[in-house]
Amino acid sequence: MSRSTLSALLAATLVPALLTYSSLAAGQSAPASGKVAEGARTDAANEMPLALAPYKYAGSPQNFAFELRFSPYRPAVDSAPGLTGAPFSRTFGDNSRLMVSAEFDWQALRIRHFGSLGPGLTAGYTSFARPAYFTGSTTTSAQKTNFEVAPFLLQAVLRVDVLATDLGIPIVPYAKAGIGAGYWRAYGADGTTTVNNKSGKGVSFGPSYAVGGALLLDFLDRTTAASADEASGINNTYIFGEFWGAELSNFGSTKAMHVGDRTFALGLAFEF
């Protein structure tokens, strides 16, 4: 792609956005969640060259959100009361692993000039694997020992999108709170480890929470965003970052594997 072509594309993409936000700053009505409201057509048509006029599209109905999430994760196994050592650190070290998760939200309640509220379900997975130590030795064997965690979270999700819809600021702060269930399993070459007739797997419950912010990407190319909405029903696309935690320890029980963590997540979100 030549430099001139790139410049033209950037101009075509960014200039309308800048002009739109300039007009918003002057007190005009805000586009609805990334889409240009129909009323804006008149103003834009009067004040802008036709080629730069906002795309006239009201958008499809919006009820759901989907997030693809990536987090560093390290279960807080060693924080369990009653442990005399740090078995998790000793076995798997101190580094986190990548957790990949997905979240589906139902924006059941839409609060005008504020945002949306509704339940969301998150499912994630990560696993740890390291060579096991020979018993009574500090030498590692070639045999791996493994631990996997799959948290499932059911949370209330509040998305405050008034900044984007009413003020034209493409940022959507949000918060989540709810409960979670963390499935875990310790396994080796022969499958799930069993010690004293107790199987090395289970589920730990506890509260979960998150706060974060999402950057609305639609402003980068409104025409494409609107086309995507028309074609697939995706109203808005975001990248987001959040701090989140899941206290998956059966509320601090000594009989539960503490598989929660407090960490952050980055990802992509889609409203549809």
What one-character-per-residue DSSP string does 11-41 give? HHHHHHHHHHHHHHHTTPPPPBTTBPPTTHH
The span from the CA of 66 to the CA of 60, in Å, is 16
Per CB under 8 A, which of residues 126..185 are in contact with another protein? 132-135, 141-143, 145-147, 150, 152, 154, 181-185
- The encoded tokens of residue 84 equal 């005399």
What is the separation, in whole angstroms, between the first and last Cα of the chain?
33
Among 37, 80, 225, 246, binds another protein (CB under 8 A): 80
Q: Does 123 contact another protein by CB under 8 A?
A: yes
Q: Which is nearer to another protein, 176 or 222 (CB)?
A: 176
The residues facing 191 across adjacent strands are 188
Say if residue 201 is exposed, middle or buried (CB neighbours under 10 Å; 0-12, 13-18, 19+): middle
- Interacting residue with another protein among 9, 14, 58, 104 (CB under 8 A): 104
Q: Does 85 bind another protein (CB under 8 A)?
A: yes
User: How many binding residues for another protein (CB under 8 A)?
Assistant: 58
Contacting positions for another protein (CB under 8 A): 61, 63-64, 77, 80, 82-88, 90-92, 104, 106, 108, 119-121, 123, 132-135, 141-143, 145-147, 150, 152, 154, 181-186, 188-190, 193, 195-196, 198-204, 254-257
